[in-house]
Structure 1
Amino acid sequence: MLSALSPVSTSRLLAGDALPPSPPHSLAPSPPGIRRAAEQFEAIILRQLLAPALDSMAGGSLSGNSGPAGGAVYGYLLTDVLAQAMSQGGGFGFADIIEHQLSPKNPPPAAGKPQKHSQP
Structure 2
Amino acid sequence: NEDMDFAWIGNPTHIKDGKKYYHTFMKNDQTFRCYDCAYLKPNKVNEDMYIVLINEMWECDDGKKQIQGHWIYRSSDLPKSVEMLHKSEVFLSDWKDCNPIESVVQRAPVIFSRSDPKQMNGK
Q: TM class by shorter-chain length?
A: under 0.3
TM-score (norm 1): 0.23
Higher strand share: 2
More helix by share: 1
Higher relative contact order (CA 8 A, sep 6+): 1
Bigger Rg over Cα: 1
